[in-house]
Amino acid sequence: MKKDPNRYPKGLNRAKVLDLISHYENQSDAEAIAEAESAYRKRTSALIEVPVKLLPQVRRLLAGVVKAN
């Protein structure tokens, strides 16, 4: 058997990734909608639009917040 050429994040391996793929490929539309709605209700993060020219300043600000915590 050939060695898996893929590199996985810590805690994941080929078997776990294949299980995830199988889960989502076999999920019904209703199950997918329920999962998405549940994740949306948790609201632990947000997406914002930032002008590209301000990205360096935003990154510096966020880096300072991370260091402070």
pLDDT of residue 69: 66
Q: What is the pLDDT of residues 11-33, one digit of tens each?
A: 999 999 999 999 999 999 999 99
% of the chain with per-residue pLDDT over 90: 64
Token representation of residue 15: 């078997």
pLDDT of residue 56: 95
Amino acid type, 57: Q
% of the chain with per-residue pLDDT over 70: 99
Average pLDDT of 33-37? Answer: 93
**In the 3-class helix/strand/coil scheme, how is the chain assigned residue by residue?**
CCCCCCCCCCCCCHHHHHHHHHHHHCCCHHHHHHHHHHHHHHCCCCCCCCCHHHHHHHHHHHHHHHHHC
Instruction: State the pTM of this model.
Output: 0.52
Residue with structure tokens 């019904």? 28
